Amino acid sequence: MAPETHSPLPLVVLISGKGSNLQSIIDACTSRQINAEIKAVISNKPDAFGLKRAQQAGIPTHTIDHTQFPDRASFDVALSRLIDQNQPGLVVLAGFMRILTAEFVNHYMGRMLNVHPSLLPNFQGLNTHQRAIEAGLNQHGVSVHFVTPKLDGGPVANRAKVTIESDDTAEKLAQRVLEQEHRIYPETIGWFAQGRLKLENNQAILDGHPVPQLEKTFT
């Protein structure tokens, strides 16, 4: 791969837990698989293991404990101020377990991505793997989407499908989905960094063409 000639895309990554997707992004940046640089990792939980991953990589970390704020809006204001101090070109939600206010989302419209463990728009919300198994499906997956005020409802930019085996448990299925998350999340960030991916008129546009969206068949 030829070296990139423009400056790396500055990222701010938001986490709440283990940070395995964060690690995949760190690795992709370090190896120059993608032309991006993580400027800060922010967690709403002081004990999130992902903070240690970032610190080991020499990335500045911050904690804003949501329990110390009287309401969702005031937390989002403080979070936004901290994000903006790092002047990111893209905000990356990597297991950030907070519902964000419309004001916050609109501030970063078109430059905030999330990864969700289902083939959106199916199975928005939590416990996606168990719900997919209980629905009797033979296919599940993961989606990377632009964040909009509708929870898990923004246009999908990239997805990967995973076959549901007859003996699958939610835990076994989750592990295989996670492997695909680690593959397509850095890939999607790389597209954005190259200017290939953008949000226009509430559509995810890749290489000048709308990314096909799936029909919703399960809630």
Which residues form the catalytic set?
Answer: 116
- Give the ranges where the chain is alpha helix by DSSP (H): 20-30, 49-56, 72-85, 102-107, 128-134, 170-193
Backbone angles phi, psi at 122, to 5 degrees: -75, 145
Which pair of tokens denotes residue 35?
């032309």
Nearest in space to 17 (alpha carbons), one of 58, 56, 68, 52: 52
Contact 11, 92 (CB under 8 A): yes
Backbone angles phi, psi at 212, to 5 degrees: -60, 135
Contact 37, 9 (CB under 8 A): yes
- Please report, as a single letter, which amino acid is at residue 95: G
Angstrom distance (rounded) from CA 124 to CA 34: 28
Q: How would you classify the pairing of strands 209-210 and 203-206? A: antiparallel
Question: Any idea which residue has 């993961």 for tokens?
Answer: 142
